[in-house]
Structure formats: structure tokens, C-alpha cells
Amino acid sequence: MPAHLATSARRALNPRQSDLLAAVREAGALSIEALAQRFGVTLQTVRRDVRQLEQLGLLARFHGGVRTPVSTVENLAYAQRKALNAGAKELIARAVARDIPAGCSLILNIGTTTEAVARALLHHRGLRVITNNLNVAAILSDNPDCEVIVTGGVVRARDRGIVGEATIDFLRQFRVDIAVIGISGIEGDGTLRDYDVREVRAARTIIEHARQVWLCADHSKFGRPAMVEVGHLSDVTRIYTDQPPPAPFDRLLRDADVACVIAAEVAGAHGG
């Protein structure tokens, strides 16, 4: 929306809608229930406000919640992504860590959810982890029973991800037990999507060089658009998420024979 139209739209909002918009922008995304509790109104009132804000182009809805509008060509800033749904990411990370056996080989790719997985693996033993994420490497370097291998390539300053041809060439040397990957969005046809072509090429290579692929995606990733295709849900062995996937994703997962782990139901303390 052009700046002058956006300003006019904000002027047309009532005080509660203005506060709701500010709350969502600060958090990145919030559930309808959380907004109703925060403002002391009914779910119907929140949905009505959200519908108006969406029509003005100020917010975007997803299953069970609302978020700031997303671009198909540019991801959110790293700090915002790290804070967005942080609790859900921690639940997912603990569920993933619970299922990773000691003494296996892993690849963890770029993303704030895979960084949460790395933190959940700090007490595992005998792991060999390959990563193109310097944040993951720094986290796991605190685990003396974990060997960390960092790919070559170009470091992106904004999130310390490593990308480029050298990254792909390095990854092709390996075949690991499990690839734990994050994603920016899952389209309604089951397509996995992200923003940076260089990051996507590395992610495709990771998928090709793993015996199992475990996808970590909180509820906000379902139906979220992004420009570049990484793969399809059929490329995934398991998906870890924090809420039951909405239609049509539940059917797509069944059709692709992808195991779906709802982290809130299983997550807990784990020592590997």
C-alpha cells in the first residue's frame, strides 16, 4: 500500500484497532485468542477488527492468527524472525532433540528454528553436525561431545548463514543420517519455499544428501508465500510443528506419507 494511503487507513481506525495493529507489528504474529485476551473483547470482535485491517492491507491472516503482511521476495529481519513464535520454536526444538539419537550424523541449515534445535542438543553425545549456519556452530561448540563441521562459502552478515557454490560443493561430500531444516513458507500445494536463491540451492543439496529429512515449521509457516521453490512436502520424512496443520496441509501430509509430530503434545526435557 502506498504511504499516503496507509496513513489515511490508519486514521480511519478506532483506538482498539490501532492498538491491535501495534501489538501485532511488535510481535510479528499473534493468535486471535491472544488478542482477545489482551484487549478484553470477544473472538468475534477481534476477527471483525482483523478483517478490516486485512482489507486495508495492514495485516494478513493465517490459520488461527494474524501477522504483519509478508513479502514474497524479502524475508523478515533476523531479529524479528528470532522473536517471532519463539515459544513454539522452543517446543519444536525440544521435540526434535528428543527424537535424535546419540551418535548420529546431522545437517542443520540456516534458520532461527534450527538454532533453537541446536540449543536443545547441548546435552547430546556423539553427534557429528554439519552446518552452514555460524549461529548453530557457535551454539553447539559449547557441547564437548559434539563434533561441529562448518561449510565453506560466503557469510551473510544479516544472519550468519553461509551460502554460495563453495557451500554446495562442501555439502556434496557427505550423506548424513538426518537433515534438520527450517523453511520460510509452505504453499497450499505442498511446495516448500524460501527467499534467497543461494540459500535455497544449499537447502536442496542438504535434502539430497540426507537419509531422512526432518522439517521444522511452526504454525505460521503454513500458507506463507515466498518466491523460490526449495522442494515439496513429499521430500520430507517428518514435519515438526506446534499445532495441527490446517486444511489442505493435513491431507497433503497424509498423501505424501509424512509423519507429523505436534510438538506441544510430546515436547519435554531430554538428555541424549
Query: Each residue of 238-247: pLDDT tens digit?
Result: 999 998 998 8
pLDDT of residue 65: 84
Is pLDDT above 60 for 3?
no
pLDDT at 269 over 50: no
Res. 270: pLDDT tops 70 = no
Residues in the chain: 272
Three-state DSSP class for 29?
strand
Reported as a single tens digit per residue, the pLDDT across 119-167 is 999 999 999 999 999 999 999 999 999 999 999 999 988 889 999 999 9
CB neighbours of residue 58 within 10 Å: 21
Kindly state the cell numbers that stand for 243. 499445532
pLDDT band at 265 (very low <50, low <70, confident <90, very high): low
* DSSP-assigned letter for residue 67: E
- Of the candidates 218, 138, 154, the one whose C-alpha atom is nearest the C-alpha of residue 183 is 218
**Burial status of residue 63 (CB atoms within 10 A of its CB: 0-12, 13-18, 19 or more):** middle
Question: Model confidence over 88-125: pLDDT tens digits?
Answer: 899 999 999 999 999 999 999 999 899 999 999 999 99
What does each C-alpha distance from 150 to 3, 78, 179 come to in angstroms? Answer: 43, 20, 15
| 87 pLDDT more than 60 | yes
Q: How far is it, in rounded angstroms, from Cα 164 to Cα 197?
A: 9
Per-residue pLDDT for 272 more than 50? no
Q: Which tens digit of pLDDT belongs to each residue from 177-235? A: 999 999 989 999 999 999 889 889 999 999 999 999 999 998 888 988 788 999 999 99
Looking at residue 2, its pLDDT comes to 43
Other beta carbons less than 10 A from residue 74's beta carbon: 11
DSSP letter at 126 equals S
Say if residues 162 and 134 touch (Cβ distance below 8 Å). Answer: yes
Where are any strands of DSSP class E within the chain?
29-31, 60-62, 65-67, 105-108, 127-131, 146-150, 154-155, 162-163, 176-182, 185-186, 191-194, 210-216, 228-232, 238-241, 259-262
22 burial level (CB within 10 Å; 0-12, 13-18, 19+):
exposed
